[in-house]
Every structure is written in C-alpha cells, then in structure tokens.
C-alpha cells in the first residue's frame, strides 16, 4: 500500500491507545476488541480495535508495519474481472435518463438497463455526472461501465496490481493516493469512494484532498461498512465487514457525518445498503470460530442468498444495514457544520 500510518514494528514501543482522533480531535479511547486475526486470509498478526468516546468511530491500533502483506494477489477488489468494456459513448442516453419527460427518461433507462454504473447513480444522484473520478477504483468494476456514460472518467488506486489489471482492459486508471493526487486543476461532477475510506490512514485528509477536485455543483459518494449495524451488534468479532487489518476505521452514521463536515461537505442523503452475502459470511465465521460440525459452503446457494437479502433489506429499512452510502456536496460559503 502506498499510504502509511504510525505502526508497531520490531523493537518499537507498543502504544497503549491510539493518538488523537483525526475525525473529531478527541483523545479518549476505549478498547473494544483485542487478539483478533486476519479472518479472510489467515495471515499472521493480532489486532486491537478501539472506540473513540467522543465521535464513536472505531480504529485499528496499532497498525501492522507492512499492511501490503494483507492485500495478497487474491484480494477481491484487485483481482481480474476478465472483461473488456467496449467504448460505447452513451453520453446522450445517459443525460436523457434524467430527463423531466417521463417517456424520454424511461426509454433512455431501458437502453442503459444493463449498465451497473447507471443503476447505481440513478439511485444516488439527481442529474447525469459529466465527469467521474472513482477513487479506489480497484480493477475497474465501476470504472468500466462509468466510462461508457461520462464524457470523462478516471480511476485512481494505490494498488499497482489493480491499476495494471484495469489498464490492461483499456480502462482509464492510474496509480494515485490522496497524499499526492497530481490532478492539477481537474474537477469532476462525481467523485466516488466505494468502500475505500475505511482503508485510508487519515479519512479527513483524504476527503479534504478530494474536495479541491469536486465541481461546485458536483456530488461526492462515499460507501462504508456500518460499525453500528445490526450485523455488527449480533456477530461482534465474527462480523464479516470488520475485515481486519485492511479496515483501519469502522464508521457509524454520526462519525462519518463528522468526518465529512470536518472536510467541508454537507450531507445530502444517506442510504443503507447491507447485503445478504455479508450475513452469510458472518454466519460462516461464527461457525468456524466455534469449530461447529455444521459448516457452510464458501458461497451461498442462490435461494439462500435471496432469503438473506430479504433479511438485509429489513435491516436497511430500519437504518441498521451493515453498509452505508452517503451523498454529499461542497459546503457553500457562509454555511457552518452541524
């Protein structure tokens, strides 16, 4: 990983608790979990999670000296998708899909019904983004379909493997970190951070750095796991999206709102987007830890997943789903935060 945090290595003194919280400035921490391991890849190491008693954010501390070891080649977001995206310029249909004319809008959305980026953005934003920056693009799962819609699209990631994979399929991806964006004066009408913010060393610095590249009428979309979700409460250390040590932060609704406010954004919309797959894998972790004789296959059967998706939707409707999506805009001059 290109980003880094103060860490504990050979011969270094152990920190009893984290330093000042970069989100709220608080310095009172409570230990939530200790002695945890990398459940996804079973890589050596034990980890602790702390809760900031001021804003409620969860934090991994200390951080492993070499986080890159915990992003092996088989890490999902960096893996090959095996698909090339034909350069179909759907710009006119994309704009028309937000038309105030219901007939035009429905026809345009019918044409774009198989484009995953369109399906996501219809839910989240109220107008067609002309330019898109996907920060933490991985191997291009969103960047590919987005590049067929926007007149300009760019993906950035700190993983050389992910960027190489995306570029090999003709996608506009390059290495980049919020610490050194090298975007000049470029601005975008949509900046997307999809399950990325929990991986970065300093969330407020990352959000602040991207702020300079968001168009004054643009939207920032941030998706993160919900550390105060029903699943997190039920499963505790077996919660699939705890995902230590890759997830350096665990956000609640209030702590993510605080981070966005500190970075100069106003929150416009919050959606809860938990999925049945997370329920299934949390159950699998719990059974495995208890050495249960009843095991679960690596992937759920389709009918099982349908049922678990229905359960996840119930939690989403109660604002307790284990993923949150925030839509934010630039704070205008004269406004103050919450």
pLDDT tens per residue across span 241-250? 999 999 999 9
Whether 15 shows a pLDDT value over 90: the answer reads no
**Amino acid 290: pLDDT:** 85
- Largest Cα separation within the chain, whole Å, is 68
Q: 201-238: per-residue pLDDT in tens?
A: 999 999 999 999 999 999 999 999 999 999 999 999 99
Return the bridge partners of 31, or none.
50
E strand or H helix that includes residue 163: helix 160-168
Strand order of the sheet with strand 131-135? 173-175, 152-157, 131-135, 188-194, 214-225, 323-330, 265-272
Higher pLDDT, 268 or 83: 268
Confirm whether 201 is domain-assigned.
yes
Q: What does the pLDDT read at residue 272?
A: 97
| 161 falls within a domain | yes
pLDDT in tens, 144-178: 999 999 999 999 999 999 999 899 888 999 999 99
pLDDT at 81: 64
- Residue 245, classed as helix, strand or coil, is coil
User: What is the torsion angle, in degrees rounded to the nearest 10, for the CA atoms of residue 208, residue 223, residue 24 and residue 232?
Assistant: -160
pLDDT confidence of residue 89: 79
Q: pLDDT confidence of 8, banded at 50, 70, 90?
A: very low
The pLDDT of residue 83 is 60
Yes or no: say if 187 and 131 are a contact pair by the CB < 8 Å rule: yes
Q: What's the CATH number where 312 sits?
A: 3.40.50.150
pLDDT, averaged across the chain? 90
Residue 228 domain boundaries: 76-330
Length of the chain: 338
The conformation of residue 22, written as its DSSP 8-state character, comes to T
In a domain, 320, yes or no: yes
* Residue 16 resides in a domain: no
- For residue 321, the model assigns a pLDDT of 96
Is the pLDDT at 80 greater than 50? The verdict is yes
* Separation CA 50–CA 334 (nearest Å): 35
In a domain, 88, yes or no: yes
**127-150 per-position pLDDT tens digit:** 999 999 999 999 899 999 999 999
**Residue 26 within a domain:** no
* pLDDT value, residue 293: 67
What pLDDT shows up at residue 333?
62
Q: How many domains does the chain have?
A: 1
- How many whole angstroms from its chain centre is CA 237? 20
Residue that wins the pLDDT comparison between 95 and 75: 95
User: What's the pTM value of the predicted model, to 2 decimals?
Assistant: 0.90
Of the pLDDT bands very low, low, confident and very high (cuts 50, 70, 90), residue 4 is: very low
Task: Please check whether residue 41 lies inside any domain of the structure.
Answer: no
159 found inside a domain: yes
Three-state DSSP state, 313? helix
Count CB neighbours of 319 within 10 A. Answer: 15
pLDDT tens, 52-75? Answer: 999 999 999 999 988 888 887 777
**Residue 332 confidence (pLDDT):** 79
pLDDT band at 9 (very low <50, low <70, confident <90, very high): very low
């Amino acid at each position: 990983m290109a980003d880094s945090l103060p860490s504990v290595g050979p011969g270094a003194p152990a920190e009893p608790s984290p330093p000042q919280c970069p989100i709220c400035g608080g310095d009172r921490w409570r230990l939530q979990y200790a002695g945890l391991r990398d459940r996804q890849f079973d890589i050596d190491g034990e980890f602790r999670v702390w809760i900031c008693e001021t804003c409620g954010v969860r934090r991994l501390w200390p951080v492993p000296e070499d986080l890159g070891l915990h992003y092996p080649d088989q890490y999902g977001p960096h893996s090959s998708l095996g698909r090339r995206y034909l350069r179909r310029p759907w710009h006119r249909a994309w704009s028309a899909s937000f038309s105030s004319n219901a007939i035009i809008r429905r026809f345009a959305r019918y044409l774009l019904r198989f484009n995953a980026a369109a399906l996501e953005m219809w839910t989240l934003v109220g107008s067609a983004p002309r330019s898109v920056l996907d920060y933490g693009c991985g191997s291009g799962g969103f960047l590919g379909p987005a590049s067929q819609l926007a007149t300009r699209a760019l993906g950035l990631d700190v993983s050389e493997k992910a960027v190489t994979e995306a570029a090999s399929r003709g996608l506009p991806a390059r290495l980049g970190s919020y610490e050194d964006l090298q975007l000049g004066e470029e601005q975008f009408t949509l900046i997307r951070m999809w399950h990325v913010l929990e991986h970065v060393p300093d969330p407020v610095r990352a959000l602040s750095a991207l702020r300079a590249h968001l168009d004054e009428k643009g939207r920032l979309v941030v998706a993160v796991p919900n550390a105060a979700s029903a699943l997190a409460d039920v499963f505790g250390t077996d919660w699939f999206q705890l995902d230590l040590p890759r997830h350096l932060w665990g956000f609640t609704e209030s702590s993510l709102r605080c981070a966005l406010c500190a970075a100069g954004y106003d929150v416009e919309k919050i959606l809860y987007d938990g999925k049945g797959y997370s329920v299934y894998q949390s159950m699998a972790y719990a059974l495995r830890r208890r050495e249960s004789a009843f095991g679960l296959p690596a992937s759920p059967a389709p009918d099982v997943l349908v049922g678990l998706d229905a359960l996840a939707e119930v939690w989403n409707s109660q604002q307790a789903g284990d993923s949150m999506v925030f839509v934010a805009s630039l704070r205008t001059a004269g406004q103050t935060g919450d």
